[in-house]
Structures are given as structure tokens and as C-alpha cells.
Chain A
Amino acid sequence: GAVVSQHPSRVICKSGTSVKIECRSLDFQATTMFWYRQFPKQSLMLMATSNEGSKATYEQGVEKDKFLINHASLTLSTLTVTSAHPEDSSFYICSARLAGGPPDTQYFGPGTRLTVL
């Protein structure tokens, strides 16, 4: 149980285009999902916290207009990288917290590798 999927697993796009990444909790409902970014050989950095039915909370230094987050249902959150540039190339990982579950537990997706040419 507690499986989180991400789609796509890899995406290559041209500079200036937008890319949407989906994060789904497959067998549980998640009121809260988190989006992380991991640059090569670096740690995960929290970008934003996504709550179902409300606006996402962004970490300091993360542009909310560039990284659009929508958490439209209890099983789906999307991250859209708008007007992507090569410096946005990274590994994007989401995690989900079980609705009503312990706040200390997050289930991680397998990640999405974004390459912007």
C-alpha cells in the first residue's frame, strides 16, 4: 500500500515551453502533497506544499508564477514548469501524506527527470 506515482518519468523539452508533471497517490487519499527538486549530486529541496482545495505554499526563493501547483483532488497534484529554461533541468520528486495519517509520514514518488534544451 501507500504507492505514489509520477508521470512522466522523463521529459525533454525546448526552452520556453511548459511542462506538466503529475503526482498521484494510487491507493490512498492525500490531503497534502509536497514537491521537491533535486539537482545533480545535491540533496532534495522542498519547493512547495500542496493542499487539496487550496493554494500551495511555496518555500522562500521559489517562484510561484513559474512553478504552478494544482491539487485538484485527494489523489492528484500537478506541477507545471512554465517557460522552462535549461536551469530548470532537475529531478522533481513529489511526496504525499495520508489523509488523517501521522504528519511525520510521507510517501515518495519515483521522480521525474526534466531536461530543458
Chain B
Amino acid sequence: AQSVTQLGSHVSVSEGALVLLRCNYSSSVPPYLFWYVQYPNQGLQLLLKYTSAATLVKGINGFEAEFKKSETSFHLTKPSAHMSDAAEYFCAVSGRGGGGTSYGKLTFGQGTILTVHP
């Protein structure tokens, strides 16, 4: 079984400020972890993913996330927000290998809407 909890359905920051979007996961098997971004009425775009290599993962558009097993967290950060970062962000988890029921299936968090103020 796997689940994802995103703390904070809405986050508002000023342009140039640090962006921190929180994600905690639960998984009965070693997880793959993902962050996706969704712009209005569009599908999802992959920002970054953790698949067991380095725990600090760098993605597109200056975003990065750190996998912390002890905290079961995978928070998304960006040092300096830009107006174009305003969107909804989803954290997701899937199970690794083994062919279990969670293998390759994504379970999404509830989403966090990021607003960037000038």
C-alpha cells in the first residue's frame, strides 16, 4: 500500500522568495517518488523523480527535492520563485520492482496550488 500527503493545499510566496512544497509518503516497498506540475486545463509535466540514486534530485526550472527516508519526506524547493512557477504541484509515489500491486502505478497527493505575488 502507498499514499502521499501534501501539507498545505495552497502556498503563496513573493517573486524571488524561496519555494517549499511539502510531501510525505507512505509505502510498504522502497518507493519511487515524483513531483509533477500542472497548469490549468493541461496534463502533468514531470519536474523531477527519485529512483534510488542521489537523494538530492535536481529537476527542471530550478526545482529540486531531497529524499529523506528517516522522515519519509520528499519536499520540493526552489531558491527563487518566478511568476511562471504559479501552478498546481503534485507529489506522487510508485512502488519499485517486484511486480507488486503498486509496481509502476502512481499514487498522487492532493496537490498544492502555488501562487506567486509580484
Residue positions of A touching B, CB distance < 8 A: 4, 6, 32, 34, 42-46, 49, 91, 93, 95, 97, 102-106, 108-111, 113
Contacts and interface: CB of A to CB of B under 8 A. Distances in A.
Interface in B48-82: 49, 51
Contact of B42 (A44, A102, A105, A111): A111
A104 B45 contact: no
Most chain-A CB neighbours within 10 Å: which of B32, B36, B103, B108?
B108
B32 to A, nearest CB: 4
B43 A46 contact: no
Given A44-B90, A110-B42, A113-B41, A104 B107 contact: no
5 closest residue pairs by CB, A with B: A108-B43, A103-B104, A108-B44, A110-B43, A104-B32
B52 to A, nearest CB: 10
A43 B90 contact: yes
Nearest to B34: A104
A79 B51 CA distance: 30
B105 A49 contact: yes
A46 B106 contact: yes
Interface size class of B (residues with CB under 8 A): 20 to 34
Nearest to B113: A41
B110 interface: yes
Nearest to B107: A46
Given A43-B109, A43-B111, A108 B104 contact: no
A108 B45 contact: yes
A104 B94 contact: yes
A32 B45 contact: no
A97 B43 contact: no
15 contacts: A34-B106, A42-B111, A43-B111, A49-B105, A93-B43, A103-B94, A103-B97, A104-B34, A104-B49, A104-B51, A108-B36, A108-B43, A110-B43, A111-B42, A113-B41
